[in-house]
Structure 1
Amino acid sequence: MNSQSPVVYNFHLPRFPARLIAGVVIIILLVILIWTACYTVQAESEGVVLRFGKFLKTVEPGLHFKLPLGIDEVTVVPTRRQLKLEFGFTTPGYTNPDQPPKEAEEERSMVTGDLNAALVEWVVQYRIDDPKQYLFDVRNPAQTLRDLSEAAMREVIGDRTVDEVITIGRQDIEVSALARMQELS
């Protein structure tokens, strides 16, 4: 018989000192704090800073710092870009979350003053001047502008004949609809 004693392997797991573990945890926490404290506002936008949900200030484009971990939140609003709302059609590749595809057909069907039906397509272009007002003075600004524009256009189209709508009155309709929208807003 072979009387060899069994081989015993003595594996010791490396022990990390408590200071090293604490140091790594602190470094990770600092990286998270710095990561959540930095933000960038793009060139065509302004940032609206909220502290605990209350308006604090607006900031210009560039790299900025805020209080981390959700204390300060930043909403970026495109103030230097021309925005548009399309009515009665959609441009391929342009997605508008405020306009479901089936709604386009309904919003372009209008009744003229002489009780004829007309299919009217139009675009509203706008720019946001005051991001604070845009975010806090109206509950849903894009949908409000959409509803306001549709109401003004239906009123203006309803005051004209179908011939005016599809031929000579287009410029006058544009001016009248813009004036009516400004009255309502």
Structure 2
Amino acid sequence: MARMWPVDGVIGENGGFFFRRQPQGHGLERHFWHSLADQESTRDRLKEIADIVRTKFGTARLAEDQPFRLTSLAFAQPDTPTDVAAIVAALREAGANVTVNNLWILAWLGNYDKLAMSRRILSAHYNLDIDRDPQQVLYAGDSTNDAPMFAFFRHSVGVSTVVRYLAEIPKPPNWITEGPGGAGFVEIADAVIAARSGS
């Protein structure tokens, strides 16, 4: 996404990293929440936690893209809420932070989330202090792992699929689109363009 999309940068894996395409060419600037010294031990511990969970729950299945994840674990959601809750509990017992989105049970190590990394990156790379000027940001999301962002930003939007998770989000987004996913994002973009043009 950081290489191919028309965006300035991408915060990934619930705040574990920030990638930005270099001004010239297709190289990437890579910034991680954890220091270089801590990254290897963090990955090793995540692997240990994954093995613990898979041993405890024979049906626990890592996401197909887990080999490409750099800072987190992702388990496919089981069929029943009880099994989801059991895996979440096991991950927390092992010392991981956990959230659930519309596809995965996500786990990571470290005192961060999307909001903490956004605060760091917007300050360091875009000279924006969101604690002083939060209204400069419009945030869109779709599930429970977006809860910190919905709670912080006044201009928060959930695409329509977020309604499945509203009972689990302490402060819901201030607006919800009619369409899901990309269609919802187009609604958001159209609203911003219309506001800028005064129409």
State if a TM-score over 0.5 links the two structures.
no
TM-score in terms of structure 1 length: 0.22
Q: Which structure carries more helix by proportion? A: 2
Larger Cα-atom Rg: 1
What TM-score do you get using the length of structure 2 for normalisation? 0.21
Higher strand share: 1
